[in-house]
Chains A and B, each alone.
Chain A
Amino acid sequence: MTDETPNNGLRTQRWLRRAVTLPYLWLLLFFLAPFLIILKISVADPIVAQPPFTPLLEWGAQGLAGLKATFENYAYLFVDGYYGIIYLSSLKMAAIGTLLCLLLGYPMAYYIARQPPRRRQILLMAVILPFWISFLLRVYAWIGLLNNRGVINEFLLWLGVIDHPLPMLYNDFAVYLGIVYSYLPFMILPLYANLERHDHDLLDAAADLGARRWQGFIDVTLPLSVPGIIGGCLLVFIPAVGEFTIPALLGGADTLMIGRVLWDEFFINRDWPVASAVSVVLLLLLVVPILWFQRLQRREQELGR
């Protein structure tokens, strides 16, 4: 409030601005640059060469001779219904997986948030613990469990509950299981962070004003946890749409997910331009939810102050 603070404040601001540029540098280097490369490839023509696509800039004797870009790859994605179906199917599978995560994660986050502080720490640790093992390894482990000769089937056969092994692997069921298993912590953590901050007086106040416990939950807890729900859902949904490992390892031949198609285009068809176009379209599809998520986070931070 004194006369010298504006000066001081300006200096801090300048320093801050410099510090803020660091993450931007990071993004530039590791996000924007790769993205521009992909974008460049997506407008090239596939050729049998190394690398397997035509260059964007054509060089003549006098330097730059011209720009060669084609949108045929994108047109191909739209004309060939196959890709549309796969995009839709990916979105559907990610959405259902997200919903399952929410239905499972909400009660868990709610329960953890209501434990005494010491137990909360232990339970949160338990949620995070699986991250200590490689993601790939954990997904592989499910193969051993879900296999026709896997632990679960062998056990059920031994019990005599079933005569034939249940087909639990290499189908959509296994993919959903994999998504829920892998992404559940991403749902629980933001939900927990939200629910843990709720003021218990609010529920008492609702009860005092005539609300039964479930009404208090519907009227107070649920609406106040919407930011946590959205945050958790986006954290699960966004990576789940482009998920490759889970459908590749646990999915069947008929499991249509864009991540696998990408892999096939890149490594089996060696059609890098089409593969790049596929990923650019995927990114555009996800830009809307990502921006929404960022806006939400900003608002949460403002409220948190």
Chain B
Amino acid sequence: MNDSPPSPLVQIQEITKKFGGVTAVDRVSLDILRGELFAILGSSGCGKTTLLRLLAGFEEPTSGRILIDGVDMTDVPPYERPVNLMFQSYALFPHMTVAQNVAYGLKKERVPAGKIRERVAEMLAMVKLEALAGRMPEKLSGGEKQRVALARALVKRPKLLLLDEPMAALDKKLREHTRFELASLQYQLGTTFVVVTHDQSEAMMLASRIAVMAEGRIAQVGAPGEVYEFPANRYVASFVGNINLFEGRVTGVETGRLSLHCEALGADLSVMSDEAIAPGSAACIAVRPEKITISRQAPESKDRNIIKGTVWDLAYFGDQSLYRVRLKSGTELQVSAQNLRRSAKLTVEWDDEVYLSWEIASTILLRS
């Protein structure tokens, strides 16, 4: 194995894109590694599609630059970039057959006809569409269209494949199946994929790393686990997964640990942190629903935050149950619990007085 860290395939350097007075992408810097399946996650209008179009070359940056494989792409038009894009609409040419669609990029590259036939057949076999080579796109199902679009983008063997909301047009069941197929295809080919999506579970499942975007900026970059368990700020914490968020005030500082008072919870909590925060300053506390244990008996209190409340609402899903627990202060907390024991009766029911507890280490501290 090579010891040097893998060199980034894509280097996005301080890139900004303005449309009139609107800044769609705001000083974004990002490295995407070779062979990575990278996801750009954000709600609509966060600038993720603009960033993708900048990578593909459909938009010119207002400032900053993009390097692909060390080459500055600023003056390279889309048709000369080693990048292919799979469009959200798939954008299949309606007047060409499946095979002609896939062959188009190779024709433009002036690949000899025999070679084109070979590579198109190979690509269609890879996405299991050999039987449909002669079909027109209008006669294909959504999933088939998506695979044609994928084959058409991959047949040119790009260094970088961009996928704009690849699952958005598929129904739920197909979507889950296709995620696995896409991930395994990426693994087989080793091509660098950048997936743009608004669906956090899609990003988490597919990607080796995720960049969360908000208002044209990168809010956080990290592995799915990092982004989920160690969100960098309130936006990421609440955008990725469910979370309980509270404002608090620092009351005490020990080594590696902070004590806070939360008005909304009517309780004092502890958080692991090495940060030097002056007592009295405001901070935000967060905890994920699945980290909270719900019980009718008082739990062990060592290294745990504990508060009391009443079960206000309950949703039973079979594998797990979701609780809304209302505290005396009126604040509600979401708790999810795996139903580990086989039992028709739940251990915690509506209106039960319950203890909520979670490890101090599971408590997230977010600076405002």
Which residues of the other chain, B, contact A264 by a CB distance below 8 angstroms? none
Residue pair B108, A209 in contact (C-beta under 8 Å): yes
Contact of B341 with A by CB under 8 A: no
Contact A208 B78 (CB under 8 A): yes
Complex interface: chain B residues within 8 A of A220 (CB): 93
Q: How far is the CB of B81 from chain A (nearest CB, A)?
A: 8
Spot the interface stretch: B62-70, B82-90, B212-220.
Answer: B82-90
Whether A199 touches B156, Cβ cut-off 8 Å, given contacts A206-B104, A208-B84, A223-B95, is no
Q: Is B109 an interface residue (CB 8 A)?
A: yes
Chain B residues with CB under 8 A of A202:
91, 93-94
B79 on the A face (CB < 8 A): yes
Q: Is B326 an interface residue (CB 8 A)?
A: no
B162 CB to closest chain A CB (Å) equals: 9
- Which residues of the other chain, B, contact A205 by a CB distance below 8 angstroms? 85, 87, 91-93, 152
Q: Does A204 contact B (CB under 8 A)?
A: yes
Check A204–B79 contact: CB distance below 8 A: no
The answer to whether A204 and B91 have CB atoms under 8 Å apart is yes
The verdict on B77 contacting chain A, using a C-beta distance below 8 Å, is yes
B109 contacts A210, CB within 8 Å? yes
Q: B52-80, CB under 8 A of A: which get 1 and which 0?
A: 00001110000000000000000001111
Interface check B105, CB cutoff 8 A: yes
Q: How far is the CB of A104 from chain B (nearest CB, A)?
A: 25
Could you tell me if A212 and B79 are in contact, using CB atoms closer than 8 angstroms?
yes
Give residues 185-241 of A contacting B (CB, 8 Å).
Answer: 199, 201-202, 204-212, 215, 219-220, 223-224
Interface centre among A204, A209, A210 (most CB of B within 10 A): A209
CB neighbours of A215 from chain B (8 A): 108
List residues of chain B with CB within 8 A of the CB of A199: 89, 91
Distance in angstroms between the alpha carbons of A19 and B152 in the assembled complex: 47
Query: B87–A209 contact, CB under 8 A?
Result: no
In the complex, what residues of B have CB within 8 A of residue A209's CB? 79, 84, 104-105, 108, 152, 156
In Å, the complex CA distance between A206 and B91 comes to 9
**In the bound complex, do residue A201 and residue B87 qualify as a contact, i.e. CB atoms below 8 Å apart?**
yes
Residues 72-114 of A at the B interface (beta carbon under 8 Å) = none
A154 to B84, CA, bound (A): 60
Note all chain A residues with C-beta closer than 8 A to B85: 204-205, 208
CB-nearest residue of chain A relative to B83?
A208
Known: A199-B91, A202-B91. A208 touches B79 (CB 8 A): yes
**Chain B residues near A201 (CB, 8 Å)?**
87, 89, 91
B:310-348 near A, CB below 8 Å: none
Find out whether the CB atom of B94 lies under 8 angstroms from the CB atom of A224.
yes
Q: In the complex, which of the residues A204, A210, A212, A224 contacts B105, with contact meaning CB atoms closer than 8 Å?
A: A210
Which residues on the A side are within 8 Å of B57 (C-beta)? 207
B87 touches A210 (CB 8 A): no
Within the assembled complex, what's the spacing in Å between the Cα atoms of A201 and B87? 8
User: How many Å lie between the Cα of A209 and that of B157 in the bound state?
Assistant: 11
A234→B33 CA distance, assembly (Å):
56
Q: Which residues of A have CB within 8 Å of B83?
A: 208
Q: How far is the CB of B156 from chain A (nearest CB, A)?
A: 7
Docked pose: A199 CA to B90 CA in angstroms: 11
Contact with B along A116-156 (1 / 0, CB 8 A): 00000000000000000000000000000000000000000
A204 B87 Cβ-Cβ under 8 A = yes
| Minimum Cβ distance to chain B for residue A254 (Å) | 44
Residues of B whose CB lies within 8 Å of any CB of A are 56-58, 77-80, 83-85, 87, 89, 91-95, 104-105, 108-109, 152-153, 156
